[in-house]
Every structure is written in C-alpha cells, then in structure tokens.
Amino acid sequence: MAVLWNIIRGGLIGMAELVPGISGGTVALVIGMYERALHNGEKLIDLIKVAIKDRSRLKSAVAGIDWWFLGAVGVGMVTAVFTLSTVLSNFVENHPEISRGLFLGMVAVSILVPIGMMDGRDTKKRLPLLIPLFLVCAVISFFGTSVTSAPQENPSLIIIFIAAAIAVCALVLPGVSGSFLLLAVGLYAPIMSSLSNREWDVIGVFILGAITGIALFIKILSYILEHHRTITLAVMAGLMLGSLRALWPWQDSDANLLSPSGETWPVITAIIIGAVVVALVMFIERVTSTRTLDSAVMVETKPV
C-alpha cells in the first residue's frame, strides 16, 4: 500500500513539473515527502561518488538508501510526465484562465506548509530577519515570473542540457517552477513537443542535464535546510508567494496582468476547488503523520 501511495505522490510531482507556475517542490512539501525525498536524493548522489572513488564503502552506501521509496516515486513521476504531458498542455492552452485559477488556489494554500514547518522559538528570535527576507524573496519571485520568451525553433542539445540542469532545481526548491523557467527561455513548447512526439535524443539530453543539475544543487539545499532550517523555509514561503503572479488567471500573451473580465464565476470556482483540494491533502497528511507518530511512541513505550 505504501508503494502505491508513493507512486501516486510521484505522479502528482510529475504533473506539477509539467505546468508553468507550479513547483514540484511545492507539491512534495504539501504531500509530506519533501525532506524524505531530499535526504534520499542526497544519499543517491553520495552513492555515485562512492562507486567512483571508494568501492569498499559501496555496500553500506547502497543499504543507506530507501530504494522502494525512490523507485515508487520515480515510477510515478515518469509515468505522469509521459502520459499526461499532452493532456495537461492542452488543458492549460485551451482553458488558460480556469487552469491558472485552479493552480492559484492550490499554491496559495500551500504557502502555509513551509510556514507551519518553522520552529516557533527560532522564528520569534529571528523575526526581524525573517520578515524582510520573506518579502524580498516574494518580490524577486514576483518579477522573475513576469519574464517570458517566444518559443525557440530547433534549440541545440547543449542549450537543452543547460536549461534542464537549471530548471530541475525547481524540483527540489518550492516556489520555483521548472516549467516556468523553461517558458522564460523559450524552451517549454519545444520540450513538451519532444515529450509528446517521443524524440528520444532530446529527452535523453534533457534527463542528463536534469541529473547533473540535481547532483550540483541537492547537497547545497540539504545543508542549508539542516543548518539554517527556519531561514530556508522563510525563503521557500516567499518564493511561493511571489510565484502566484504567474498564476493570476487574467493575463495577456506577454504575461502582463489584466483585471478580471467576462464570466468570472468559473475561475473563482476553480480557485476555491484548488484551495480546498490542497487543504484536504494537508489535513489528511497531518492526520496520517500524527497517527504514525503515535503508533511509534506506543511501540517504544510498550512494556516488555
């Protein structure tokens, strides 16, 4: 059952990475697997290093990875990317206002996740730093998501490799959308087309670039999350808040924000649905985590 649930969660992350404005890292936070995925990803990078430099430690490095978890999440992500790329692309293209409204509601509620993960005492102590940092990150993300570019015609494989290495950082950094980064440099449409048409040379180079990007970035993020947890979570929350700009339902083709027009109730309904769905997921995840923790405590305190 746990494997099936992890496949589903991986599929949700894969779906998120297909939609400009939605971060896979944000979804991982909401469904309660962010730190576990980050930890195992870091262990996987260490395994590769051990295999190259010190094979005497290879067995212990292999044993330190939760392969069932990583495998299930990976299967879910890959399945979602290859089966839903066309469907999601058509949904976003044919219903831009409703789709953005749906995602706006989802991400808006998701901001509560990193805020809720902060340590209360540390937050109070660092509040004079956290508030300006939160606002600065929100502003940077807000203006960063206003940048778009016309789709590139036949981009080179080198460009695709570099773009993948940068965009994949969004997979481990909530508030930053990998698809939006690709959109900003004009590579979103070509990559989505390659996925739909199974252009394996482009897909292979993109995957290689993504692996390279994760290898370079994941260790840094793991370190700062472990040693500067409250500050890192404040940065994530700020980036997520600013990213809502990309999801404002009413925009023109150049991503300029417009005032609501036409029938607004379908969009408002979509916003509410998105918010309720994420709130329910957060509630279920919290209840599940609490029960798991209670069970663990009962096992530890059970008389022998």
Give 230: exposed, middle or buried? Use CB within 10 Å, 0-12, 13-18, 19+: buried
**pLDDT value for 276:** 92
**Does residue 112 belong to any structural domain of this protein?**
yes
Residue whose structure tokens are 């015609």: 153
Report the domain count for the chain.
1
pLDDT single digits (tens) 16-67: 777 766 777 778 887 888 888 888 888 888 888 888 887 778 888 888 889 9
Inside any domain, residue 151: yes
∠ CA 224-138-141, nearest 5°, is 90
For the chain, report the end-to-end CA distance as a whole number of angstroms. 29
**Would you tell me the crossing angle of helices 96-110 and 265-301 to the nearest 10 degrees?**
30
What per-residue confidence (pLDDT) applies to 20? 66
pTM: 0.70
Q: For the residues of the chain, what is the DSSP string, one character each?
A: -HHHHHHHHHHHHHHHHHSTT--HHHHHHHTT-HHHHHHHHHHHHHHHHHHHH-GGGHHHHHHTS-HHHHHHHHHHHHHHHHHHHHHHHHHHHHSHHHHHHHHHHHHHHHTHHHHHTS-HHHHHHHHHHHHHHHHHHHHHHHHHTT---PPPSS--HHHHHHHHHHHTHHHHSTT--HHHHHHHTT-HHHHHHHHHHT-HHHHHHHHHHHHHHHHHHHHHHHHHHHHSHHHHHHHHHHHHHHGGGGG-S-B-TT--B----S--HHHHHHHHHHHHHHHHHHHHHHHHHHHHHHHHHHHHHS--
- Residue 298 in any domain: the answer is no
**Is 295 inside a domain boundary?**
no
Specify if 251 maps to a domain: no
In a domain, 299, yes or no: no
- Quickly state the pLDDT bin for 296 (edges 50, 70, 90): very low
Q: Give the model confidence (pLDDT) of 183-236 as tens digits.
A: 666 677 788 788 878 888 888 998 898 888 887 787 787 788 788 889 988 988
Confidence label for 139 from pLDDT (cuts 50, 70 and 90): very high
270-276 mean pLDDT: 93
Domain ranges, residue 155: 2-246+265-283
On whether residue 211 sits in a domain, the answer given is yes
Q: What is the average pLDDT value for the chain, to the nearest integer?
A: 81
Tell me, yes or no, whether 230 lies in a domain. Answer: yes
